[in-house]
Amino acid sequence: MDPLPAFGLTLILISFLGIRFRIPPIFNLIGGALFLGILTGMPPDQLITVITSGIGRIFALFALIILSGAIIASTLEEQGYIERIVEDGRRYSGNPFTISGLSGYLLALPVACSVTAFIILTPVIKGFGNDEYRRRMLLYCAAVGSLISFGLVYPAPAVIPLLQSLAPDLSPLWYDALAIPLSLSLLAVFLIVYRMWSGCGKKSGDATGGCNEPPDNRMPGVKRNLRPYAPFIAILLAIPLGLAIGLSPGALIQVIMLAGAVTALALAAPGARAGGLKRGTHHAGIIIFDICGAGALAGVILASGFSETASGQITGIVPALLVPFVLASLIQTAQGSRVVTAVLAAGILAGTPVAAAIHPAALVLMVAAGCFLFSFVTDPYFWIISRATGEDLSGMIRHYTIPLSLCGIALYLVAVGIQLVAAGG
């Protein structure tokens, strides 16, 4: 069968199995890889070799990063340091919406997982709300904050494969100089919207509608415990050291994340160290094997000749500037994981005429934008947030799916603007 219709049938199969039977992603994606390989006529021995090679490639790329992030998160949580970090934020801001959104935004990067960041923050964030509806809005702030940084800022696992495959000559520092202000601007807009939805700003006895708390302004001479921040300090200090010894960006991210994990374990009490290591390893294993399934499917897609055969067919259906956005949207809708979408979309687009015609930064943002477009029932995060907030399906669509879709559209428009400027220059 031709690779393009075979790929379409594979996406339909993955969507059906994921929604109807809730099959774990590792098995669902490997099953999709087998299905695609059979449809495109790949010999059985080659098919199995391609699948295992794809799994190994993704494991080598992400295993140490995700394991280190999960260990940092679990070790800090075991010692109650996450609550302390959030409380430190309250010293400088009395706005719980800002605290919630920034906490999700910042925590998702060192722990290398937006879902992990949200789960850790949920009990802390709930304590900021004085009624059930406002607690929901605060949880949405944390969730959207974690997704914005996870989907846009290097070295999040959802960004690494995009830079490595689609923009290998683009400096991660240059990319983040663009992505961080852009992501923070998007977050600021969402925080304002969620604050308005919660009823803040309306008169209710004070000028702020009862939504602000006075910040905890302590004397600057009071000694503060820096131990909760030690893993993050170690990560920052390891960056110039790694650059000084000539590490490539791919090697650097492995080293600095490992430095953070080692620091977290070294400074933890024995009980917290053992608990953090156990829980972190367990959680990381689930995430790693799920995205390894994406490596299997990506390997079969590449071996089937999809990129060479289907790129011309796709550009005959939609304009070239829409291809990365639409492709990522379809993959994201089919299986829900942003990392999987990044791995698959990067593998499909790399080396194609479409990728060559678009500025690397714009191309990365277009794919990232597609990851935000349709976060619905195939998205595992959708159900995690639903359980945490107690929100029904219509409420989740209104407060989660639609805002993220608007975020994706806004990102795509920014990417098109960058492409037009680059083409005009």
pLDDT digits (tens, 9 = 90+) for 356-399: 999 999 999 999 999 998 887 667 788 888 888 888 888 888 99
Per-residue pLDDT at 142 exceeds 50: yes
Phi-psi region of 225 (alpha: psi -120 to 50; beta: other; left: phi over 0): beta
Q: Which two tokens stand for residue 81?
A: 């340091």
DSSP E strands in 47-136: the ranges are: none
Query: Which of 188-197, 213-222, 283-292 is least confident?
Result: 213-222
User: What distance in Å separates the CA atoms of residue 149 and residue 128, rounded to the nearest whole number?
Assistant: 22
Average pLDDT for 192-205 = 72
Q: Which residues contact 157 (CB under 8 A, 6 or more apart)?
A: 62, 65, 66, 112, 113, 150, 291, 339, 342
Q: Is the pLDDT of residue 424 over 50?
A: yes
Over 80: is that where the pLDDT of 203 sits? Answer: no
Query: Which of 217, 210, 147 has its CA nearest to residue 379?
Result: 147
Decide if 375 contacts 337 (C-beta within 8 A).
Answer: no
- pLDDT category at 144 given cuts 50, 70, 90 is very high
- Please give the DSSP secondary-structure letter assigned to residue 222: S
Radius of gyration of the chain (CA): 22
How far apart (Å, rounded) are the C-alpha atoms in residues 370 and 411? 9
With H, G, I as helix, E, B as strand and everything else as coil, classify residue 50.
Answer: helix
d(CA 168, CA 242) in angstroms, rounded, equals: 19
pLDDT on residue 213: 63
Q: Tokens for 78, please give them.
A: 């075991």
**What distance in Å separates the CA atoms of residue 184 and residue 102, rounded to the nearest whole number?**
9
As a dihedral over the C-alpha atoms of residue 174, residue 176, residue 178, residue 179, rounded to 10 degrees, the angle is 150
Is 209's pLDDT higher than 80?
A: no
- How far is 26 from 285, CA to CA, in rounded Å? 11
Whether 293 shows a pLDDT value over 90: the answer reads no
Does residue 116 contact residue 67 with C-beta atoms inside 8 Å?
no
Residues 162-190 have a mean pLDDT of: 94
The model's confidence at residue 70, banded by pLDDT at 50, 70 and 90, is confident
- Average the pLDDT over each of 46-50, 138-142, 379-383 and give the range with the smallest value: 379-383
pLDDT in tens, 76-124: 989 989 888 887 877 776 788 999 999 999 989 888 889 888 988 888 8
CA 197 to chain centre: 25
